[in-house]
Amino acid sequence: MDFTESPNVKTIRGIVRAFMEKEVYPLEPVLRQKGFQALLPVLKEKRERARETGLWTAHVPDAFGGAGLTLTEFAHMSEELGKSPIGHYLFNVQAPDVGNMELLMAHGTPEQKEKFLFPLIRGQVRSCFTMTEPEFAGSNPVWMGTTARRDGDAWVLNGHKWFASSADGAAFAICMAVTNPEADPYRRASMILVPTDTPGFTLLGNASVMGERGGDWASHGEVSYQNARVPLGNLLGTEGAGFALAQERLGPGRIHHCMRWIGVSERAFDILCRHVSTRELAPGRLLGTKQIVQQGIAESRAEIHAARLMVLHAAWKIEKEGAEAAREEISLIKFTVARTMLRVLDRAIQGLGALGMTDDTPLAWWYAHERAARIYDGADEVHLEVVARRILRRYGMTAR
């Protein structure tokens, strides 16, 4: 595996860095002080400028209207975009849309692509993914209460979902629902496309996270399905394949998340280093001369570097052998990079002292909003167990 950056990756990083410096970072104070919705008018303009860079919807192949980057190339881009909370959104590569696009590209019918995928790629609409339920443990993804039953030419959905990221303002949802209750647990659920204007689909509100409900894309919705009817043709993939499709969606998705977290870490590291290099404890005595501060800087640098190499290796293995072959690597990076990011953020906040707790920097915003990194897309504990079981199986242990 070659860890050197290709000429194409260097070009991509250069384009994105320049765009972030000029167009994105200046918007962040408004985001932190007034929220995402206050930025919507200017974000629309910035998205058009992002489109002009040639990196719009970069993970999507040329044939579908994207920039056609490989997973590894997009991983590098994702790191640069991750240095701002709105970087991915501006280039139309934000979660959950990025994963929904990949599902629709791989499994959507021609009609589904025309109605749902292409408007998403063009940035005309947003989408959400409704899977987690407040009544059931999210760590057991095959256990859920939402159902979809056939009734003539329609699916009728009933259930309760929450933490449907970006449901506020979304044009459609991909809903995980039980369609075959008597089947094997891993074959009970299916994915169904549900326009959010469907009667019976109700956004109950946005969950309050760390004291903020958010709005529009930057939110986590609570959704009710009450006899919501959609055509049978809205089934995504095959009936009973919901769990398999969810796993397929999460492989590359964890690469995207992890490289975004590395971007967060790099920005936090830069903020810390700039601060301790100029902050005086007393006349002529810089904070950065303290050995305990230097230790934190050295540890952060080592941890970020190691995490990046782990993610790039996982991306390389997915490209070479497929997501199934890289399951162990995908689980490893999920909990390793999330923990690295939170340690780096904590050191940066501690180094800035009272300033780190304010909204004068993005550190406190990230500390509140990214703590969930160790929970969503599979809690740390689940991934730790997956990795350990796979390792011990190689030693002959088969008991669960």
- Would you state the structure tokens that stand for residue 199, as one six-digit string? 């009667």
Task: Output Rg (C-alpha) for the chain, integer angstroms.
Answer: 22
pLDDT in tens, 99-156: 999 999 999 999 999 999 999 999 999 999 999 999 998 888 889 999 999 999 999 9
Beta bridge partners of 230: 155
- pLDDT, position 400: 67
Task: Produce one character per residue of 147-186: b if its CB has 16 or more CB atoms within 10 Å, e if not.
Answer: bbeeeeebbbbbbbbbbbbbbbbbbbbbbbbbbeeeeeee
- Would you state the structure tokens that stand for residue 178, as one six-digit string? 């039980």
Confidence label for 2 from pLDDT (cuts 50, 70 and 90): low
- 241 sits in which H/E element: none
Answer whether residue 3 shows pLDDT above 70. no
**Environment class of 254 (CB within 10 Å of its CB; exposed 0-12, middle 13-18, buried 19+):** buried
Confidence label for 258 from pLDDT (cuts 50, 70 and 90): very high
- 3 sits in which H/E element: none
Q: Using CA atoms in the order 382, 210, 85, 136, what is the torsion angle rounded to 10 degrees?
A: 30
Beta bridge partners of 167: none
Confidence label for 1 from pLDDT (cuts 50, 70 and 90): low
- Domains, the chain: 7-94 (1.10.540.10), 127-236 (2.40.110.10), 244-393 (1.20.140.10)
- pLDDT, position 399: 67
Tell me phi and psi for residue 281, to 5 degrees. Answer: -85, -30
